[in-house]
Amino acid sequence: STTCAFQSNPVLLCILATFAVVTLAWYIRDSLKVDSITEKFVLVTGCDSGFGNLLAHQLDQKGFHVIATCLTEKGCMDLKAETSWRLKAVLLNVTDSSSIDSTVQFVHNETGSCGLWGLVNNAGRSIPVGPSEWMQMEDFRNILNVNLFGLIELTLKLLPLLKKARGRVVNVSSVMGRLVLTGGGYCVSKWAVESFSDSLRRDMRHFGVKVSIIEPGFFKTAVTNVNLIDADLRRLWDQLHIDVKETYGEKYLQNYMKAQSFAMSLLCSKDISKVTHCMEHALTARHPRSRYTAGWDARLIWLPISYLPSFMADFIVCALFPVPKEDRVACLNQVDVTNP
pLDDT of 43-72, one tens digit each? Answer: 999 999 999 999 999 999 999 999 999 999
For residue 330, the model assigns a pLDDT of 44
Judge whether 248 counts as a catalytic residue.
no
Compare 89 and 8 and report the one with higher pLDDT: 89
Higher pLDDT, 339 or 160: 160
| pTM for the whole structure | 0.88
pLDDT (average), residues 195-215: 97
In terms of residues, how long is the chain? Answer: 340
Model confidence pLDDT, tens digit, residues 141-154:
999 999 999 999 99
On the question of pLDDT at 260 being above 90, the answer is: no
Residue 237 has pLDDT above 50, yes or no: yes
- Is the pLDDT reported for residue 2 higher than 60? no
Q: Please tell me the predicted confidence (pLDDT) of residue 339.
A: 45
Spell out the residues 6+ positions from residue 66 whose beta carbon is closer than 8 angstroms to its own. Answer: 41, 42, 43, 44, 56, 59, 60, 83, 86, 87, 88
Question: How confident is the model at residue 326, as a pLDDT?
Answer: 62
How far apart, in whole angstroms, are the C-alpha atoms of residue 25 and residue 248?
A: 55
Architecture of domain 33-219+271-313: 3-Layer(aba) Sandwich (3.40)
Mean pLDDT of 201-225: 94
The chain-wide mean pLDDT, for the chain, equals: 91
pLDDT digits (tens, 9 = 90+) for 298-339: 999 999 999 999 999 999 999 988 999 765 444 434 434 444
Q: What is the pLDDT of residue 26?
A: 85
Q: Where are the domains of the chain?
A: 33-219+271-313
CA distances 89 to 77, 80, 86, 160, Å, are 8, 7, 10, 22
| Interval 165-190 mean pLDDT | 95
Active-site annotation holder among 27, 186, 248, 256: 186
22-26, 82-86, 171-175, 198-202: range with lowest mean pLDDT:
22-26
d(CA 292, CA 273): 13
In sequence order, the 6+-apart residues with CB closer than 8 A to the CB of 306 are: 175, 178, 179, 313
Rounded alpha-carbon distances, angstroms, from residue 325 to 41, 101, 196, 247, 250: 55, 50, 39, 6, 9
pLDDT tops 90 at residue 11: no
Question: So what's the pLDDT on residue 205?
Answer: 96
17-46, pLDDT tens digit by residue? 888 989 899 889 988 999 999 999 999 999
